[in-house]
Structure 1
Amino acid sequence: MNDTRKTAAIIGASRALGLGLATEYVHRGWDVIGTVRGSHRTGLHDLADASGGRLTIESLEMTEPEQISALRDRLARHTLDLLFVNAAITRGDVPISDVPTDMFTEVMITNALSPMRVVESLRSLVTPTGTIGVMSSSQGSIALNTRGGQDLYRASKSALNQLMRCYAARHAEDTRTLLLMDPGWVRTELGGPDADLSVEESIPGVVETIESHQGKRGLHFLDYEGQVVPW
């Protein structure tokens, strides 16, 4: 085994942006641990088959805390250079006054609470010079919200950003780099067919931004072009 090879754990890697991240890191020669929900075959399995052993797959339903704990136990002997949590759902462009309580709860748990549970659980596996990243969105920026719409999704990403700020403050002595990444408006199931970017156009920029900030401790909210996103 090449001791200089780096290891990334991509949480939520079965499709779209997560699969794109796993693909990019495998192509860059990293060892990658990617998680999928359930046992069904995904594009990540095809990537694993072609990876020459550099990609391993773990099962994780991120909204189940006991599954996060079980994943932590399974990965206990690993040292991660990058932990990246990619997970988000949307339930349509519904005014907040019309959002049912169960929908609000589902989106907030998936988009804000669960990613932070993963970060808290797996943080000790990340090397002190490593990076912890979470996929955010410019729609989580309060300063940039001049048009409204997507109320619940925006609120969930703003909550995620705030929780990462709380995390960073609570671990102010931490030497790891903390990133909130905005991938741009990407043509995925979530972004829709009219979005500006393909996954192949967004993800290399995301990875370059992650790489360029390695060793820059503290929390940074950045887009796929390396630009600071206003809070």
Structure 2
Amino acid sequence: MFPDAHRHALVIGASRGLGLVLAVELTRRGWRVTATTRTSGGELRAHAAGSAGRLTVETLEMTSSAQLTALRERLSGHHFGLLFVNAAIDRGNLPISEVPAEMFTEVMTTNALSPLHTLEALRALVVPGGTVAVMSSEQGSVSRNTEDGFELYKASKAALNQLMRSYATRYADDGHTKLLIDPGHNRTRLGGPGAPLVAEETIPAVVDVLEAQAGAPGLQFLDRRGEVVPW
């Protein structure tokens, strides 16, 4: 567990779905949470309004370097025990031969490049012994890619994992716990209505993992049960 002084989390991408439930669950457990949304974030702001100040909302389009810089400046007086980046888009189940360059660039930018830009921009706000985590997916596991479909999404998550590995190598001595989290296939806008899991059951398990791994060295790729996902 994080010491009480470190129980302030920065959750990037919390307007809906897994990110929203994560922000709310952390707040429920007594964390102070700063959460970001690209747009109005009505549901997130509603939770913030009823949180007695434990949940605050910031606006961020994380593909914008200018907005990342502005957020870092706004939060310059804050210190966080957890920085969690949650972001992903999916543009359908096209074989890679049919994916236009513009779509490839959009998905790779949102799912792989922007999360790492976000970590680079905000990592200095994380306290020594704190955790830096990114929402990944089992679909990014190269060794488990044994079924057809969703080639671009899989590639973007594999790229995210590889970039996170490079990040962990670059900052091996910074004292931060580094995690890639596979939350499973959840019933969200991204996961679709037929997904077997629901965020309200999945995310408490994810937070258990985050809290249990606090202070662990190096980079780990873990699922919601805390089990290792093969690269």
- Shorter-chain TM-score bucket reads over 0.9
Structure 1 position 124, deviation (Å):
0.7
* 2:36 is the alignment partner of 1:35: yes
Residue in 2 that maps onto 1:16:
17
**Paired residue total:** 228
* 2:191 is the alignment partner of 1:184: no
* 2:102 is the alignment partner of 1:102: yes
Mark the CA change 1:108 to 1:4 in structure 2 (over 3 Å): closer, same or farther. Answer: same
CA distance in 1, matches of 2:212, 2:31: 16
Q: Is the contact between residue 35 and residue 56 of structure 2 (CA under 8 Å) also seen in structure 1?
A: yes
CA distance in 2, matches of 1:84, 1:160: 14
CA distance in 2, matches of 1:89, 1:6: 29
Structure 1 position 5, deviation (Å):
6.3
Structure 1 position 53, deviation (Å):
0.5
CA distance in 2, matches of 1:42, 1:140: 31
Secondary structure of 1:56's counterpart equals strand
Give 2:34's aligned amino acid. I
Residue in 2 that maps onto 1:84:
84
Secondary structure of 1:207's counterpart equals helix
Cα RMSD (Å): 0.9
Structure 1 position 193, deviation (Å):
1.0
CA distance in 1, matches of 2:214, 2:5: 16
Q: Is the contact between residue 174 and residue 217 of structure 1 (CA under 8 Å) also seen in structure 2?
A: no
Gaps of 5+ in 1: none
Structure 1 position 148, deviation (Å):
2.5
Q: Is the contact between residue 6 and residue 81 of structure 2 (CA under 8 Å) also seen in structure 1?
A: no
Q: Is the contact between residue 31 and residue 54 of structure 2 (CA under 8 Å) also seen in structure 1?
A: yes
Secondary structure of 1:66's counterpart equals helix
Gaps of 5+ in 2: none
CA distance in 2, matches of 1:5, 1:152: 37
Q: Is the contact between residue 80 and residue 130 of structure 1 (CA under 8 Å) also seen in structure 2?
A: yes
Residue in 1 that maps onto 2:218:
218
Give 1:153's aligned amino acid. Y
* 2:44 is the alignment partner of 1:44: yes
Give 2:7's aligned amino acid. K
Structure 1 position 194, deviation (Å):
1.1
What does 1:73-152 correspond to in 2, within 5 Å?
Answer: 73-152=73-152
Which 4+ residue blocks in structure 1 deviate beyond 4 angstroms? none
Given the two structures, how large is their TM-score scaled by the length of structure 1? 0.97
Mark the CA change 1:109 to 1:193 in structure 2 (over 3 Å): closer, same or farther. Answer: same
Given the two structures, how large is their TM-score scaled by the length of structure 2? 0.97
